[in-house]
Amino acid sequence: MSENSNKSGGFRQQQDDLLSRRGRKGSVDRYIISRLLQYIKPYKGLLFAALGITISGAVLGPLRPYITKVAIDDYITPGDMHGLTMVSLVLLAVILLDGVKQFAATYLTQLLGQKAVLNLRMDIFRHLQKLSVRFYDRNPAGRLITRTTNDVEALNEMLSSGLVTIIGDLLQLFFIVGLMLYIDWQLTLIVLGVLPLIIYVTMTFKSLVRAAFQDVRTHLARLNSFLQEHISGMNIVQLFGREEREYQRHADINREYRDANIRTVRYFSVYYPLIELISSIAAGLVIWYSGVRMLNQDISLGVVVSFVQYIWLFFRPLQHLSDKFNIMQTALASSDRIFKLLDEKDVAAVPEQPVELQEFRHDIVFDHVWFAYHGENWVLKDLSFRVERGEKVAIVGATGSGKTTIINVLSRLYPVTRGSLSIDGIDISRVPDASLRRLVGVVMQDVFLFSGTIRENLAFGREGATDREIEEAARRVGADRFIAKLPGGYDYPVRENGAGLSAGQKQLIAFVRALLYNPEILVLDEATSSVDTETEYLIDAATAKLMKGRTSIVIAHRLSTVQHADKIIVMHKGEIRETGSHQELLAARGLYYKLYLLQHPEKIHDMPQAAS
């Protein structure tokens, strides 16, 4: 019990934190429901129709025991066959109307739930697209997938079969109690006498199960994150022989998820039998007291039969309410997590006074730029350099020197920490993302391909590109050769992240993308590091055409690919150590010279002499 108390107390602290953060009065549940209602509001016609049908039909179920009482006392006991036939037809009509009511209410509420959840999913995805790259650095993909699938599905269940059904069950209880009081108030008091005990059991159950459902969702997110990560990296697991170790890690996470679910099962396995026991006690008391009164000829058989029916009818909505409460608790726990995601403030910065860049005219200037991914662990340190329009600039250096980070801040995937980065004298923090990225096209080292066709992946950055334009771009890059050999050619289906295509083929696809995108500033980030010699030759030929008349920044590991750059910047531990042309840097016999000799030791005798 102490464990459950701690978890319950922990959840109350989460509630307090949530209310404090959002600055709202009242309970967390009320706040969450008020936000959910915003997704129902556009479909209030469906809601009102479902409510109208549910409310108007709520009396149909409770009428059945009363009609049974009338049939027994007024027609069966006196032997009135004609009256019995008529009342039986009335009972049949009530049953049929109740069935039609249930069908209509179920269909409308399911339709309402699906429409509302569609909008919620769209809002989540739209918000995910706005979040900064830093957010994705610290949140596993599996956790986010859980938010958009499992958590949203829990909400769908509540919207489809929760709120309206709860109102219907409450109204049924109202009509049941009213008819019971009308028939016999003494037996009604016996039934209602157990109600405080049911309320106490339900409230205790609520305080325990809410925290348990939070725990279940947390462990489910961990499990999804683990599976997503390990399915994506299964080749690494197998290459390093980690199958058994990772299996044990999965088993630990899976056991924790199982145990969290078992805790909720334990609460329900106690709750349902308790409700059943209480209802059986109430039925037993009613039967006993009715028997005593029948012996005294103080009550009719029809009243006793109808009350036995009413007892089970009375407790059925209560059990339905507990089932719906289960759904509500799951949905509220999921809603809290979803709205925390939607309230996430780590979005990509939007300029307060944006300045559109229609074209690139003069230069790119890094002015004393500092950057760190975390705290003050500086990756770029006081970086200053200029890239003129039409210039081809290469950035080289050892792994971890900050080369790719320069591209990240130029593309504004991450904001500059200190200093300024400007294009044509305008700080890029003032330029809208769409405007900036129209100018800057990036070919990354790790090419990501989406599920779809080769054609769709080639035209990813150029909506509306014609088949002729796509095929011409592929021909210029040299990608048409391998595409022609694929089954279906340009309509060949690409599997997840390009599975089945070689690294070189994926790089060629990335170059076609860039060619179709037609940026004024072209950035190549280690674009030929993963390809074979033949493919590198194709890419070198294509890039020569692609960079002609275009400002280019080339991040390179192979120094042989940057020898013809107008300017080479040598990075070391986040700082610029040298700048110059290939020949100037070799003659200086500095860091570039050492890197070049490491890659080309056979050319040591051909090196120019150091400047005197």
Residue 367: per-residue pLDDT: 92
pLDDT over 60 at 10, yes or no? no
Render pLDDT for 384-421 as a digit per residue (tens, 0 to 9): 999 988 889 999 888 888 888 898 888 888 888 899 99
- Beta strand extents in 492-580 (DSSP E only): 493-494, 521-525, 551-556, 567-572, 575-580
Q: Which pLDDT score, from 0 to 100, does residue 57 have?
A: 84
Average pLDDT over the chain, rounded to whole? 81
Half-sphere exposure of 366 (CA within 13 A, CB side): 24
Which 3 state secondary structure label does DSSP give 577? strand
Position 322 scores a pLDDT of 66
- For residues 495-506, give the mean pLDDT: 78
74 vs 96: which has the higher pLDDT: 96
The predicted model gives 53-70 an average pLDDT of 85
Q: Which domains does the chain have, with CATH numbers?
A: 21-342 (1.20.1560.10), 363-606 (3.40.50.300)
Residue 611 pLDDT grade (very low, low, confident, very high; cuts 50, 70, 90)? very low
Confidence class for position 21, pLDDT limits 50, 70, 90 = very low
Checking if the pLDDT of 15 tops 60, the result is no
* pLDDT at 9 > cutoff 70: no
Percent of the chain with pLDDT over 90: 5
Find, among 599, 459, 480, the residue nearest to 538 by Cα.
480
Q: Which of 502, 499, 493, 505 is nearest to 234 (CA)?
A: 499
The pLDDT value given to residue 7: 38
CA distance 416 to 365: 13
- Say yes or no to pLDDT of 26 above 70: no
* pLDDT over 70 at 19, yes or no: no
Highest mean pLDDT (candidates 16-20, 166-170, 321-325, 585-589): 585-589
Range name among 368-372, 433-437, 578-582 with the lowest pLDDT average = 433-437
pLDDT value of residue 291: 82
Per-residue confidence at 369, pLDDT binned at 50, 70, 90?
very high
Tens of pLDDT along 506-547?
888 888 888 888 888 888 887 665 566 666 677 677 677 677
Q: Are 132 and 347 in contact (CB under 8 A)?
A: yes
Does an H or E element contain 61, and which? Answer: helix 60-70
